[in-house]
Amino acid sequence: MSEITATTFVLAVNSLATSVRFYTEQLGFEETLREDGWSFLQRGACHLRIGDCPDAQPMTACQDHSWFAYLHVRDIGDLFREYLSRNVEIWHPLEDKPWGMREFAIVTPDGHRIVFGEQIV
């Protein structure tokens, strides 16, 4: 059977410059390429392609479950503290969930929501 080796999320953003700053300075991503209204970003196994779409409807207008990614991480407590120290907007605080995961969630400047989780051992 074929194997999926990586994931890339593609997002519309209202301001490419603002979003690139957020992902690099606050979330710790590295910009690997900028080309014609697009920025390619990466942190570990997570790849993003964000496209400049100034007229796109902001995700804040969508319902509560409109998050675009659930990222499995190691050392979730360290990541949570890192993001708090960088003033990232926390959507849901770090807590243990009944399904065996420790999770927290953030909101991007465009209202995209990302959930981070680590299995409770």
The per-residue pLDDT for 65 is 59
Pairing state between β 38-43 and 30-35: antiparallel
Task: Collapse the DSSP code of 43 into the 3-class scheme (helix H, G, I; strand E, B; otherwise coil) and give the result.
Answer: strand
- Determine the pLDDT at residue 110: 87
Model's pTM, two decimal places?
0.86
pLDDT at 64: 61
Q: Kindly give the parts of the chain with pLDDT less than 70.
A: 60, 62-66
Question: Which residues are within 8 A (CB) of 47 and not within 5 positions of it... i.e. 6 or more apart?
Answer: 6, 7, 8, 9, 40, 41
pLDDT at position 111 is 85
pLDDT, one tens digit per residue, over 100-111 is: 999 999 999 888
- The residue whose two tokens read 């392609």 is 49
Going from the N-terminus, what domains does the chain have, and what CATH number goes with each? 7-54+63-119 (3.10.180.10)
pLDDT at residue number 59: 72
Q: What is the pLDDT of residue 77?
A: 96
Cβ-based burial of 8 (10 A; exposed 0-12, middle 13-18, buried ≥19): exposed
